Chains A and B, each alone.
Chain A
């Protein structure tokens, strides 16, 4: 869908203007909505991803890059600009299809989970990822051995209120997501063995009877609840080897903006400090202008 030289150029520019904070995610798409739109043959997406993910770091690191490949070829050129980070920004691959976490590990790429899995499944994937990445053949000049997962965030002092607002948001996201026409549904192929439904992998949990989220329509591990519940939830993710969580803070504008901001403020005040070191807590905090669209928390 995107020429790798263009991706290398734009990513490097973004790394420069963000003062070296860029992390680059790669993906092959799981929907006919996207692949059909660009007339991409679904059979080829793994192959082209493999080729592109290996040339991007070289474009960033080499003064003279040339390539004779199967997806594209180019004569020797200096691809500019070069990124600020040395040797280059950390690279990730999004993981929807089972097994892609192993592709990530074998190539020294971060595992960016976009398909929500329960604790047990995520633990299995994370363990295997960390085992495999020790012997990886990295695609670039650095190994990114982090595992991030995708989650939802709605935080309120009152667990029931959080649930009443958060559950419809989760459902709305899953329904809107399901409107996409899955590749496997439209096109018979070996390259896509599952319908890429983000919500399908989450399962109702078996938990202690006093857990307030039991029988309330929330799958296990979802970041909806009061601060205490969220701390407990995130600690559980941390315990199974997840190094970061990417939170969706709203979906389909289900939650009024003020409530989204209140939720994020409460999360920042009550939950985030639990996961910060003493040095981080003492450091000054810069607040960018504008309204953030998503929040993430890094686990240390």
Chain B
């Protein structure tokens, strides 16, 4: 059985701190979210995941770039890199890095445990396609243009739950972040050349090998539910899951 082999002590050193579990949902308005999926080499499969999680075959990452006109912290643009994984038998994405373009970085860290650094996230969505770029103090760490938008049904795109590693009142835990939206528009696009600097996201092993798909979702609202479950990062989900609601 494949399980993550990442050094938890090392991961814990860089994990953000969550002072308490927020009981309120976080609601974003007028949201556009681009999701890109790419296969990874097997060398990055187990090495980037904590021992509680199982990798997928093939290894894959998803980049989600989300822009909201309104959030509790004003206008918001964020980009996250997640590794496709399994918590128990459930499909999840483990967050390796996140870049947020405003003071929302602190809010997303304190409420949902995103390992957010402040940077510049740009996302353009038009009739001809979409493009995004992510800049931090290290320079451009991701960019992509996708073309040929193809309308899809509201249920044709899948967003898996996110797991963020953070120091919580219970100790170092994987936070299960669940979000929900009712899309008004869904498109599948053809991704072009991806610029991606794994080191800029904190993990140089991440080298996207094959771009699988790209999609855009437009939604009037996007809600992050309060954290309900956390998992011990060194124990499989069947025994290591704790309820916090």
Chain A positions within 8 Å of B90 at CB level = 178
A-B contact count (CB 8 A): 76
Question: When the two chains form their complex, are residues B89 and A180 in contact, meaning their CB atoms are under 8 A apart?
Answer: no
Nearest-Cβ distance from residue A43 to partner chain B, whole angstroms: 9
Tell whether A3 is near chain B: CB-to-CB under 8 Å.
Answer: no
Q: Identify the closest chain A residue to B45 (Cβ).
A: A179
Question: When the two chains form their complex, are residues A197 and B37 in contact, meaning their CB atoms are under 8 A apart?
Answer: no
Which of B2, B58, B215 sits near A188, CB closer than 8 Å?
B215
Chain A positions within 8 Å of B2 at CB level = 179
For chain B, which range describes its interface: under 10, 10 to 19, 20 to 34, or 35 or more residues?
20 to 34
Question: When the two chains form their complex, are residues B54 and A175 in contact, meaning their CB atoms are under 8 A apart?
Answer: yes
**CA of A189 to CA of B54, assembled, Å:** 25
Question: When the two chains form their complex, are residues B86 and A179 in contact, meaning their CB atoms are under 8 A apart?
Answer: yes
Chain A positions within 8 Å of B54 at CB level = 175, 178-179
Question: When the two chains form their complex, are residues A178 and B91 in contact, meaning their CB atoms are under 8 A apart?
Answer: yes
Which of A171, A184, A190 sits near B158, CB closer than 8 Å?
A184
Question: Which B50-83 residues have a C-beta within 8 angstroms of A?
Answer: 54-58, 60
**CA of A178 to CA of B57, assembled, Å:** 9
Decide yes or no: A187 and B58 within 8 Å by CB, A172-B1, A195-B158 being known contacts: no
Tell whether A36 is near chain B: CB-to-CB under 8 Å.
Answer: yes
Tell whether B223 is near chain A: CB-to-CB under 8 Å.
Answer: no
Tell whether A74 is near chain B: CB-to-CB under 8 Å.
Answer: no
Question: When the two chains form their complex, are residues A32 and B158 in contact, meaning their CB atoms are under 8 A apart?
Answer: no
Q: Identify the closest chain B residue to A193 (Cβ).
A: B155
Question: Which A30-89 residues have a C-beta within 8 angstroms of B?
Answer: 32-33, 36
Chain B positions within 8 Å of A195 at CB level = 91, 158
Decide yes or no: A175 and B89 within 8 Å by CB, A180-B57, A190-B152 being known contacts: yes
Nearest-Cβ distance from residue A70 to partner chain B, whole angstroms: 20
Tell whether A185 is near chain B: CB-to-CB under 8 Å.
Answer: yes
Tell whether A208 is near chain B: CB-to-CB under 8 Å.
Answer: no
Chain B positions within 8 Å of A176 at CB level = 1
Question: When the two chains form their complex, are residues B57 and A252 in contact, meaning their CB atoms are under 8 A apart?
Answer: no
Question: When the two chains form their complex, are residues A190 and B156 in contact, meaning their CB atoms are under 8 A apart?
Answer: yes
Chain B interface residues (CB < 8 Å from chain A)? 1-2, 37, 39, 54-58, 60, 84, 86, 88-91, 152-153, 155-158, 160, 186, 188, 210, 212-213, 215, 238
